[in-house]
Copies of this chain bind each other. A is one copy, B any other.
Amino acid sequence: MPVPVSSNGRKTSTPQALPDTQSRTDHRNVAIDRVGVRGVQHPLTVRAANGTVQTTVAEVGMFVALPAERKGTHMSRFLQVLAEHAADFDFDAATSIARHLRERLDADDASVELQFPYFLQKAAPVSGETGVMAVQVRMSCRSGAVDETRMAITVPATSLCPCSKEISEGGAHSQRCHISAEILCSSRGPTIEQLVGRIEGAASCPTYAVLKRPDEKFVTERAYDNPKFVEDIVRDLAVQLDADPAIAWYHVASENFESIHGHNAYAELTRDKR
């Protein structure tokens, strides 16, 4: 409910009566690559490739390029555009937000970044008990000379050290790792579920929400039979993404929270297939 009278008897004004500082001319001759808003939390309904719908929460950034001669952008419009699109968000909607920002803010280039947890129903490998597991998704959509959407997914997984297994008389150290793949596609690329599958295929074993005892036996043995260095993880993931002709560019990384150290092992590589 708007409260159109100000406190202490101050006058309110119509927008027309107030100076528009942002629209003035700037004389420093410095174009700005990106200006906008960041750290916006917003509910997001995501329609998956198979038609199912889930509601999650995104951390949003929205930006436009600002030409040298323009003093400022109009910050309130970014949130108006976001609100108009948040109800039914999918890959195409993400691109639409960027295009819409470009138009509404009269910009040559606009981009939107969305980070959100995406929830998978995972069945435990033996008992079949289902539970919800979150993976982290980041979408970066840009609308400019060309339109471009990159999707990055980070998945928790298990890594087990081949060296530790080989040199030890019992056991092998394992740890949680975060494996991520960011992709740019030239045609319809993998769905979130498909990309998660490839990422988990590169780990010693996937992680699960619910594991009963027979499942725990299974994942322990699976990881022990399938040891991977951090280097192996990114290489095995790269081999899979290399083989997908829809993927024009990718970046893969793994951060392993080593159980024998207080610090992490890390590997990454980027390939441009264009």
Contacts and interface: CB of A to CB of B under 8 A. Distances in A.
A223 B171 contact: yes
A66 B54 CA distance: 36
Interface string A203-220: 001011111111011111
A174 B176 contact: no
Contact of A261 (B26, B167, B209): B209
A229 to B, nearest CB: 5
A264 B37 contact: yes
A171 B169 contact: no
Contact of A57 (B2, B117, B261): B117
A194 interface: no
B56 A260 contact: no
Contacts of A56: 43, 55, 57
B76 A211 contact: yes
Interface in A58-114: 61, 63, 66, 71-73, 75-76, 79-80, 83, 86
A273 B210 CA distance: 38
Residue of A14, A76, A222, A258 with most partner-chain B CB within 10 A: A76
A226 B164 contact: no
A15 B213 contact: yes
A20 B223 CA distance: 21
A126 interface: yes
A98 to B, nearest CB: 16
Among A13, A169, A239: residue with most chain B CB under 10 A: A169
A19 B235 contact: no
Given A211-B76, A229-B72, A156 B221 contact: no
Interface of A: 1-4, 6-8, 10-15, 18-22, 26, 28, 30-43, 54-57, 61, 63, 66, 71-73, 75-76, 79-80, 83, 86, 117, 119, 123-134, 156, 158-176, 205, 207-214, 216-226, 229-231, 234-236, 238-239, 255, 257-270
11 contacts: A2-B127, A12-B214, A15-B214, A35-B266, A61-B266, A72-B229, A83-B130, A158-B260, A164-B216, A168-B221, A171-B174
Given A33-B269, A34-B268, A66-B231, 13 more contacts: A10-B225, A13-B217, A14-B214, A15-B127, A18-B213, A32-B235, A35-B231, A41-B117, A42-B119, A43-B55, A66-B267, A164-B220, A175-B257
- Nearest 9 interchain pairs by C-beta: A171-B224, A2-B128, A55-B55, A156-B262, A41-B134, A35-B267, A168-B220, A170-B224, A30-B235
